[in-house]
Amino acid sequence: MKKILKNFSQNPKNDILSGITVALALVPEAVAFAFIAGIDPLVGLYGAFIMGIITAIFGGRPGMISGATGAMAVVMIHMIQKGNEVGDSLSNPVDNLGLHWLFITLLIVGLIQSLAGVFKLGKFVRLIPHSVMMGFVNGLAIVIFLSQLSLFQENTINGPQWISGLELYTMLALIAVTMFIMYFLPKITTKVPAALIAIVSVALITILGNIDVSTVGSFISDGGGEGLKGSLPVFQGQIFDLIYTIEGHWDLILSTAVLLAAVGLIESLMTLNLVDEITQTRGSGNRECLAQGGANFLNGLFGGMGGCAMIGQSIINVNSGGRGRLSGIVASVSLLCFILFGSNIIEQIPIAALVGVMFMVVIGTFAWSSFRILHKIPKSDAFVLITVSAITVWQDLAIAVIVGVIISALVFAWENATMIRARKRVKDDGTKVYEIWGPLFFGSIQNFNSKFDIQNDPKNIEIDFIESRVSDHSGIESIENIIQKYTSVKKKVKLTHLSPECKVLLLKANPSIANSIEQSIDDPRYYVVTDLIDREV
């Protein structure tokens, strides 16, 4: 109980103020991602609320913020468009059918992510190399920065156009004021979140000074929305009627669900890893999988957009002092209150203030030390770092992380494949001993096989694995082949100091080689230690 209360809030004041700050930053993000997916902004806002409240209470770590995200919005687009086309082509047309397909898809996403938690797949995030992590945060910082540039545009008859003149200079000035406050206020006091003070200050400047700037309200209306008022779209007809419309399109629904689940989990677990490093604490990846799955399932039931962890907002939260679960709860409840009761106030917040906050997040997220260490780390790690950063910007972070892990794994396998060695000596009785050093696995079996001189070796051979470990089936198969080659030329082989697991696997694969395996598990190194102890005693 004490641990639960500690995770709930170590500093209620900081958590509450930080949560309000995060909620302000969530509004334009959720609206923008809803526009990207081609759905009503309220779907994105309510989706952010559901994601946020569920993961704040049940998620893998306190202080992490979840909501509607661009990574998942991009995956949804094709399915939503296809669903709308199908809805329009029906004999009784269904409006927003693509959105309804999304809700059904989110039910599947929730189940997949929950199963990942049940089968404890979240622990695999710990296998992500540090070079991948650095490339990920660098690429993400660039993505956050680039996403803010769209806010420097306005919709015209000819499409989006960059703002210019006084409008541009005013926005840049307000961004500078926001960043100035966020940079210098913590040097004076840390009792209040600098981001919240910056947003409120810039909002007061524009309101009291009657400065005409782009606001949250104008941003929503320019994108085709109707502000923060309105109601959520509801299912038209029975759920079974909707499922009937999917006939012939289940491949699209299922593939989209798998992609959404994978992207959501990777982004969430990477965010968890990053927040772990910032706070010097450790969260639970498996618990996060369950919470994300439950939140997306509820989004499917109640008409939200779905989503996953938000790295930018999570960093705002922890940097503003929000370290407990209370911060995420306050952020979600505040977002809901903004929608239900405070829409008129929130719509007056200048977009420039929120852009300034996100620019400070970019500066704090980017691993600037990577420039300093790039020429000091192994070339393979430097290549992975740059590649992951580039792919994160070019494609998305899920693909970038997968590619980075694959490259790192291949480099690791190649380097270990060249490490295997064989020291050779001959005993007094004429037995030739091969002392194997290094891992024996699929990548090193070719080098392993080349160590033996089968035709010229004496009648008795001993292969000592005291400094080696057989890691996979390929290694076992290689040992079995060596024994068969020596046996075919009437020579006897003894395998010594194999691990118990390897013995079991070898005998299971080929019981006939039991005579070649030394049954004693004695390790000569143990006798050395024993002798030293005996002498001292």
Q: What are the CA-CA distances from residue 303 to residues 14, 78, 220, 507 (Å)? A: 32, 19, 20, 57
Question: In sequence order, which residues have a C-beta less than 8 Å from that of residue 130 and are 6 or more positions away?
Answer: 381
Q: pLDDT value at position 117?
A: 92
Mark which of 363, 388, 413 sits at the end of a domain: 388
C-alpha–C-alpha distance, residues 252 and 78, integer Å: 9
pLDDT digits (tens, 9 = 90+) for 127-148: 788 888 888 888 878 887 888 8
Q: Around Cβ 341, how many Cβ atoms within 10 Å?
A: 10
Directed axis angle between helix 194-208 and helix 351-365, to 10°? 150
Q: Is 52 a residue whose pLDDT tops 90?
A: yes
- Please give the DSSP secondary-structure letter assigned to residue 439: E
Of the pLDDT bands very low, low, confident and very high (cuts 50, 70, 90), residue 518 is confident
pLDDT digits (tens, 9 = 90+) for 367-379: 888 888 888 888 8
**CB < 8 Å & 24+ apart, contacts of 167-171:** 167/213, 170/211, 170/213, 170/352, 171/213, 171/214, 171/351, 171/352, 171/355
In a domain, 4, yes or no: no
The one-letter code for the residue type at 368 is: W
* Residues 437 and 466 sit within 8 Å (Cβ to Cβ): no
* Residues 340 and 295 sit within 8 Å (Cβ to Cβ): no
Nearest-CA neighbor of 284 among 132, 121, 130, 127?
121
Q: 24 and 95: one domain? A: yes
Percent of the chain with pLDDT over 70: 91
Mean pLDDT of the chain: 84
Q: Using CA atoms of 13, 15, 21, 25 in order, give the dihedral in degrees to the nearest 10.
A: -170
pLDDT digits (tens, 9 = 90+) for 73-97: 878 888 998 988 888 887 777 778 8
The sign of the torsion formed by the CA atoms of 100, 220, 142, 126 equals negative
C-alpha–C-alpha distance, residues 437 and 417, integer Å: 12
Of the pLDDT bands very low, low, confident and very high (cuts 50, 70, 90), residue 288 is very high
Q: What are the CA-CA distances from residue 77 to residues 64, 102, 231, 243, 260 (Å)? A: 26, 10, 22, 19, 11
- Tell me the H-state helices in 283-440: 285-302, 311-319, 325-340, 343-346, 351-365, 369-373, 379-394, 397-417
C-alpha–C-alpha distance, residues 455 and 302, integer Å: 74
The sign of the torsion formed by the CA atoms of 265, 271, 275, 280 equals positive
Q: 147 and 257: one domain? A: yes
Q: 384 and 484: one domain? A: no
Model-wide pTM > 0.85: no
In a domain, 1, yes or no: no
Q: 191 and 236: one domain? A: yes
The sign of the torsion formed by the CA atoms of 104, 47, 41, 358 equals negative
* Residues 132 and 360 sit within 8 Å (Cβ to Cβ): no
Q: Vertex 305, ends 57 and 106: CA angle to 5°?
A: 85
Give the residue numbers spanning the domain of 439. Answer: 421-536
In a domain, 115, yes or no: yes
Q: Vertex 291, ends 289 and 295: CA angle to 5°?
A: 120
In a domain, 29, yes or no: yes
Q: Is 506 a residue whose pLDDT tops 80?
A: no
Q: 167 and 305: one domain? A: yes
Supply 117's token pair. 């938690």
- Length of the chain, please? 537
Q: pLDDT value at position 534?
A: 41
Convert 411-438 to b/e letters by CB count within 10 Å (16 or more is b). beeeebbeebebeeeeeeeebbbbbbeb
In a domain, 450, yes or no: yes
Supply 243's token pair. 């499922």
Supply 423's token pair. 């020291």
C-alpha–C-alpha distance, residues 230 and 234, integer Å: 12
- Greater model confidence, 255 or 126: 255
C-alpha–C-alpha distance, residues 389 and 411, integer Å: 18
Q: pLDDT value at position 201?
A: 93
Q: 267 and 332: one domain? A: yes
Nearest-CA neighbor of 18 among 362, 356, 318, 333?
318
Q: 100 and 181: one domain? A: yes
In a domain, 145, yes or no: yes
Q: pLDDT value at position 398?
A: 74
How far is residue 107 CA from its own chain's centroid?
Answer: 21
Nearest-CA neighbor of 284 among 295, 296, 269?
269
Q: Look-up: residue for tokens 């559901």?
A: 50
Q: pLDDT value at position 233?
A: 53
Q: Vertex 247, ends 244 and 249: CA angle to 5°?
A: 130
C-alpha–C-alpha distance, residues 215 and 223, integer Å: 12
Query: Which CATH number belongs to the domain containing residue 473 in this structure?
Result: 3.30.750.24
Q: 378 and 426: one domain? A: no
Task: Indicate the burial class of 524 (C-beta count within 10 angstroms; 0-12, 13-18, 19 or more).
Answer: exposed
- Greater model confidence, 528 or 407: 407
pLDDT digits (tens, 9 = 90+) for 328-344: 999 999 999 888 887 78
Q: What phi and psi values does residue 154 have, to the nearest 5 degrees?
A: -135, 150
In a domain, 396, yes or no: no
Q: 351 and 428: one domain? A: no
Q: 356 and 493: one domain? A: no
Q: What phi and psi values does residue 377 have, to the nearest 5 degrees?
A: -85, 165
How far is residue 163 CA from its own chain's centroid?
Answer: 34
Q: 93 and 206: one domain? A: yes
C-alpha–C-alpha distance, residues 229 and 296, integer Å: 23
Q: 20 and 167: one domain? A: yes
Question: In sequence order, which residues have a C-beta less than 8 Å from that of residue 238 and are 6 or more positions away?
Answer: none
In a domain, 191, yes or no: yes
Q: Is 38 a residue whose pLDDT tops 80?
A: no
The one-letter code for the residue type at 353 is: A
Q: Is 466 a residue whose pLDDT tops 90?
A: no
Q: What's the number of domains the chain is made of?
A: 2
Nearest-CA neighbor of 131 among 419, 407, 396?
407
